Amino acid sequence: MSLTIVSLLPSLQNTNGDAENAAVLAARARWAGLDARVVAVESAADLPERVDAVVLGSGSDASLDRSRAALLGMHHELRRWGTEGVPILAVGTGWELLGWGIELADGGTIEGLGLVAGRAVPRDGRVAGDLVVNASGGLGLLVGFENHARDYVGAEGSPIGRVQAGSGNGRGSGQEGVRMGDVLGTHLHGPVLAKNPRLADAILARMCERAGLDYVPGERTAVVDGYAEAARAAQLRAAGVAASATA
């Protein structure tokens, strides 16, 4: 059996390299001795028959309307995947589009697909810099960078974790992201799965569980994770967060 990882709208939603989270999952699966492929999906016509995980990256505000229209054409599939427990990772504006909606600085609004709780709202000025999150579910510290001009409200009951450095969802919440079942939304760029192997492995373990497969990280994974850990340690030092700062 080949695991199929869908990269949604990579031509529109990859401004920070977040679509490459799909490549991270596929590489780690192969290093574990599993067959895996990434399928780029720009419209419903591109959807493969089997989907084991979905990655949706971030795009510019100029592409919001086009991205929403394309996602709307896959609304039924997205809802079904979320209900069936297919892991979905959405970053930045990709995440915002899966929420209740996006309020723009000019007063306009873009209706979201309503897959996850919360709404993106304008903030005073753009926030950009290191973001460190103490994640729940045994994921420890997640690191990356944030770059957004909107806060996210309405997800207070289901965040990924608590902010240790940076802004995250903003509005004084001290929280970052949203997690509803196996659907994750986050501001973490990086790509997030390259910098946070524990999160990547948690997604892969869920994929394999659904597919009736065992996931055991391969030998090459340990080498790559050493590079990731060095990068993580440097970012934690720069952000002033102790590596042991977990709940």
Residues with a known catalytic role: 189
Distances (CA, A) of 78 to 42, 163, 202: 14, 28, 20
Q: How far apart are CA 134 and CA 140, in angstroms?
A: 6
232 among annotated binding-site residues: no
Instruction: State residue 131 phi and psi, 5-degree precision.
Output: -130, 125
Burial (CB < 10 A; 0-12, 13-18, 19+), residue 215, is buried
CA distance 178 to 187: 10
Distance between CA atoms of residues 214 and 67, nearest Å: 35
Q: Write the burial class of residue 240 (CB in 10 Å: 0-12 exposed, 13-18 middle, 19+ buried).
A: exposed
Structure token digits, residue 201:
């492995």
d(CA 138, CA 222): 19
Question: Can you say which residues are annotated as belonging to the binding site?
Answer: 126
Residues annotated in a binding site for substrate? 126
